[in-house]
Structure 1
């Protein structure tokens, strides 16, 4: 009797292999042929799920975004947990502070560069940007609604500033991990969020 294939799991396996190829060899090397080889599949098997490289990249990038969103939604505030600690941990979901998040961020940055020359990926890039911006907006507005922030704070400007800070820290760490460490990222984030408080 032929073995039943879980098609969703197979698509995720192919997408995760795509991440591996992107991280190790660059996004330009993430061809259907190379990914099939790395996944131990035939080109035909990969094309059964993804008819083009663009479709494969699109699914792979959506998976990055979905993983971050799932982690954020799965978080529950502990009974005695400090509010600032909880929101800080939320922001850390998008920072490369462990191996899993580092791979996600490396893949996302490679994808973002690809968007500059491939407009078919622009819509997804915009969606993920907006999702992340909304998540960071929730952080600032939560602190403000709890009367924790300084008087006269411009929340929309603070969302832009936090988004730029998160992107910048991720980039600095990926390019210079020995100079801008995990600890530097979390310390900088803590310093910044504390600067918004009364």
Structure 2
């Protein structure tokens, strides 16, 4: 009896193979041949599940984005729960820290996301996904800061839109330096910088 293959599970497995190749060789190294080899499949089998190379890369980038989003969203309900108000500063730091390379998983995701965003500069189909992810991140940061503002934890006249841009730039910069100089920009250093920044918002006028 022939083996029944779940198409979505196979697409996920191929996407995992793409991520392994990109982690080693960058997006430019994720050819169909290299991906098929990493997935233990023939090139023809990969083509069976993806129309072309562009579709394969876009599917993988969206899957990476979804994984990051799911991890971050797990913190949102707890953070915005009024019963946890006394823990709000720690919860805010924990939530925003999910965007930093603070452990092996988040470091790997930061490397992969940077690789895809670099490729998105010259690949319009990837740029759409990158912009969607960044827009979603800014919306989440805005929601967190506005809720803190409403709760009295931040000044009422704080320019939230400007602070979201500043915080986004801080996160991007820390991730970039952590990828290039992990021995200098350690997880502890990243947390300290983030904590100092969040505390500074309370005095912003």
TM-score calculated relative to the size of structure 1? 0.93
Aligned residues: 198
Q: d(CA) in 2 for partners of 1:49 and 1:4?
A: 15
Counterpart mapping for 1:18-97 below 5 A: 18-75=18-75, 76-77=77-78, 82-97=87-102
Structure 1 residue 151: Cα displacement: 4.6
Contact 1:19 1:103 in 2 (8 A): no
Deviation larger for 91-100 or 41-50: 91-100
Runs of 4+ in 1 over 4 A off after TM superposition: 78-81
Q: d(CA) in 1 for partners of 2:95 and 2:14?
A: 28
Q: d(CA) in 1 for partners of 2:6 and 2:98?
A: 29
Q: d(CA) in 1 for partners of 2:53 and 2:173?
A: 29
Is 1:164 the equivalent of 2:169?
yes
Structure 1 residue 20: Cα displacement: 0.9
Is 1:155 the equivalent of 2:160?
yes
Q: d(CA) in 2 for partners of 1:64 and 1:133?
A: 18
Q: Which stretches in structure 2 are left out of the alignment for 5+ residues?
A: none
Contact 1:95 1:101 in 2 (8 A): yes
Is 1:175 the equivalent of 2:176?
no
SS for the counterpart of 1:82 is helix
Is 1:122 the equivalent of 2:122?
no
Contact 2:61 2:126 in 1 (8 A): no
Determine the structure 2 residue equivalent to 1:102: 107
SS for the counterpart of 2:116 is helix
Q: d(CA) in 2 for partners of 1:181 and 1:189?
A: 12
Deviation larger for 121-130 or 67-76: 67-76
Determine the structure 2 residue equivalent to 1:6: 6
Q: Deviations over 1:104-156 (max 9, x none)?
A: 11111111111111222221121111111111112211211111013532111
TM-score calculated relative to the size of structure 2? 0.90
Among 137, 145, 161, the alignment partner of 2:142 is 137
Q: d(CA) in 2 for partners of 1:74 and 1:109?
A: 23
Q: d(CA) in 2 for partners of 1:88 and 1:142?
A: 14
Q: Deviations over 1:146-178 (max 9, x none)?
A: 110135321111111111001111111011100
Structure 1 residue 47: Cα displacement: 0.8
Q: Which stretches in structure 1 are left out of the alignment for 5+ residues?
A: none
